[in-house]
Amino acid sequence: MARVEPFKAWRPRADICAEVASPPYDVLSSAEAREMAADNPLSFLHVVKPEIDLNSGVDLYSDEVYAKGAENLQRLKDDGVLFHEALPSLYLYRQRMGDHVQTGLVAGASVDEYEAGLIKKHENTRRVKEDDRTRHVDALNANTGPVFLTYKARSEIDALVERLTAGEPTYDFTAPDGIQHVVWVVGDSVDRDALVEAFGRVPELYVADGHHRSAAGARIRALRRNANPKHTGHEPYNFFLSVIFPDDQMMILDYNRVVKDLFGLDPEVFLEALGKSFSIEKVADGRPDKARTFGMYLGGDWYRLRAKEGGFPTEDPIDGLDVAILQNSVLAPLLGINDPRSDERIDFVGGIRGLDELERRVDSGDWAVAFALYPTAIDQLFAVADVDSVMPPKSTWFEPKLRSGLIVRPLDD
């Protein structure tokens, strides 16, 4: 079952919700966040990227940063920018990006189910990022950024969501990036209970984006449970903020790679070595047109690489991924990048930035070669998670990103 928990959110007034809502903390650098929020004291970036209100050289993991985030959140409450929901509620959150529309349920997700493997993961986490999110949630006593979950779509939930979103929304605005954000509050007890019961028949959830936030949710629960001799299992810290979307509404973009150098190889030698595993042709457009096909930008030209039949496993849910084929056939053996999680010679570029960004990086002279990948499919994510395994790092880039600050989940009420 998927246990979803209503809660009394802190959320902005409707007349200023667009000014409050911000991109998530992990898609902007500190400099980008500082510039974006410079003329907007209401921006939730002051909460999720609080270093922007401190000296530019501050240690991002210092106590001062987390204390500033808590101070800024309290300021938004004290100034009436955020108000506290009167009744425990669920929320429906719709995003429209061009022709793509997705609608998810905002709720508390169960730490018990996360730890039992009923909320399934597909990525490893880094301890430093887990520590950061844990300290941020603990200092603010709230979940400020949701975990992006998905499930295998069910018609009864689709019908409920369609009915509950037929009325007037609470929020409806279009952000500067052109993405529309619409929110409905589900406070009626009958409607709320119907959603809880319908999700109770969903056998498992999957983490799409937010592995560090979900891991932090489990760590926060452990900290607070150990400090609470009267722990019952029903306290707010037993859940973490999530937005849960059906799988047939997911949009996964490509997650591309750039590499600093050719590991001592001449371009001609490198191309010759690639020919052992791939068919190669020079093309005008480097965007891959199907799985197991790659675009490569080298020396001002685009090439199409097609993995040769028999050169990769077709049944293995991990080694058959395009990101794994590239890693195992090119990045490790030819370019010496054995651990892409830590090697500073590689960087990752989300598909939302387009192939122009890959060209720009290589043409700048700072990077030698770029690889464009075909997007990972949601079924591939499920297959990996269902065998309790993990994908290679940076395998999926989900769009559109969830805005922070529209719904804040407190841990004390």
Going residue by residue through the chain, which has 413 residues, state the pLDDT in tens, using 9 for 90 and above. 799 999 999 999 999 999 999 999 988 999 999 999 999 999 999 999 999 999 998 999 999 999 999 999 999 999 999 999 999 999 999 999 999 999 999 999 999 999 999 999 998 888 899 999 999 999 999 999 999 999 999 999 999 999 999 999 999 999 999 999 999 999 999 999 999 999 999 999 999 999 999 999 999 999 999 999 999 999 999 999 999 999 999 999 999 999 999 999 999 999 999 999 999 999 999 999 999 999 999 999 999 999 998 877 777 889 999 999 999 999 999 999 999 988 999 999 999 999 999 999 999 999 999 999 999 999 999 999 999 999 988 899 999 999 999 999 999 97
Could you tell me the CA-to-CA distances from 337 to 122, 258, 259, 326, 360 in Å, in that order? Answer: 22, 12, 9, 11, 22
Give the SS3 label for residue 404.
strand
Q: Give me the pLDDT at residue 310, please.
A: 80
Could you tell me the CA-to-CA distances from 137 to 131, 146, 156, 230, 338 in Å, in that order? Answer: 10, 11, 34, 21, 34
Could you tell me the CA-to-CA distances from 249 to 100, 101, 149, 254, 350 in Å, in that order? Answer: 8, 7, 12, 16, 19
E-assigned strand segments in 299-385:
301-307, 346-350, 369-372
pLDDT tens, position by position, 120-159? 999 888 889 999 999 999 999 999 999 999 999 999 999 9
Residue 86 identity (one-letter amino acid): A
Task: Spell 60-79 as b/e; 16+ CB within 10 A means b.
Answer: eeeeebbebbbebbeebeee
Phi-psi group of 233: left, alpha or beta (phi > 0 → left; psi -120 to 50 → alpha; rest → beta): left
Phi, psi of 362 (to 5 degrees): -70, -40
Burial class of residue 283 in the structure, from the number of CB atoms within 10 Å of its CB (0-12 exposed, 13-18 middle, 19+ buried): middle
Could you tell me the CA-to-CA distances from 74 to 79, 81, 83, 331 in Å, in that order? Answer: 8, 10, 11, 47
Run of H or E including 174:
strand 171-174
Q: Give me the pLDDT at residue 413, please.
A: 79
Query: In the CATH hierarchy, which fold is given to the domain comprising 255-374?
Result: 3.30.1760
Strand partners, 281: 304
Kindly give the pairing relationship between strand 147-151 and strand 239-246.
parallel
Domain boundaries along the sequence of the chain? 4-252+399-410, 255-374
pTM above 0.75, yes or no: yes
Residue at token pair 């770029």: 370
Q: Give me the pLDDT at residue 125, please.
A: 86
Q: Give me the pLDDT at residue 360, please.
A: 98
Q: Give me the pLDDT at residue 91, please.
A: 98
Could you tell me the CA-to-CA distances from 306 to 177, 278, 295, 372, 384 in Å, in that order? Answer: 34, 5, 9, 12, 23
Strand partners, 306: 279, 293
Mean pLDDT value across the chain: 96
